[in-house]
Amino acid sequence: MRIGELAARAGTTTRALRYYESRGLLTARRAGNGYRAYDEDDLRLLQQIRTLQDFGFELEETRPFVECLRAGHEAGDTCPASLAVYRRKLAELDGLIGQLQSVRDQVGAQLARAETARAELEAGSLVPGAPGCELTGMTGGGTAE
């Protein structure tokens, strides 16, 4: 198949295919007329690349999976190098999840503090003349400015 058909079937662009070729992830054969020619194995490589990129893998991280497929394995993630990439990606994701959980905890604490302060403001328990809320126009004493 030609580059346009491969791009359409893989859900990508011919520009992306040329880029993958320049990075050594895709190898085009040349037909008698000089056009790039691809087959179903190339489509499998592209599907593997696209799936991994959808999962957040960088293009270079897909290389071991592509090489595994090129070596004749049924799936790109059955080779030791592919498994190592999976392990690194999981460790990276675990770190990001930890960071996000920490931020979430901080935002939750700020929300709780703000809700307590708001409740005190509505109950009129703040000192009169204290700075007011920009959104409600209320002062610390609970009256509109």
Residue boundaries of the structural domains of the chain: 1-57
Answer whether 66's CB lies under 8 Å from 79's CB.
Answer: no
Task: Give 114: exposed, middle or buried? Use CB within 10 Å, 0-12, 13-18, 19+.
Answer: exposed
Answer whether 49's CB lies under 8 Å from 62's CB.
Answer: yes
3-class DSSP assignment, residue 39 = coil
Q: Residue 60: how many CA atoms within 13 Å on its side-chain side?
A: 0
CB atoms within 10 A of CB 134: 7
30 pairs with which residues across the strands?
A: 36
Domain 1-57: which CATH number of 1.10.3720.10, 1.10.1660.10, 1.10.150.120, 1.10.600.10? 1.10.1660.10
* pLDDT value, residue 145: 46
144 pairs with which residues across the strands?
A: 138
Q: How far apart are CA 26 and CA 23, in angstroms?
A: 8
* pLDDT value, residue 34: 84
Query: Residue-wise pLDDT tens for the chain (145 aa)?
Result: 999 999 999 999 999 999 999 999 998 888 888 888 899 999 999 999 999 999 999 999 999 999 999 999 999 999 999 999 999 999 999 999 999 999 999 999 999 999 998 888 888 765 555 555 555 555 555 554 4
* pLDDT value, residue 134: 58
* pLDDT value, residue 20: 94
Q: How far apart are CA 34 and CA 111, in angstroms?
A: 64
pTM of whole model > 0.75? no
* pLDDT value, residue 131: 59
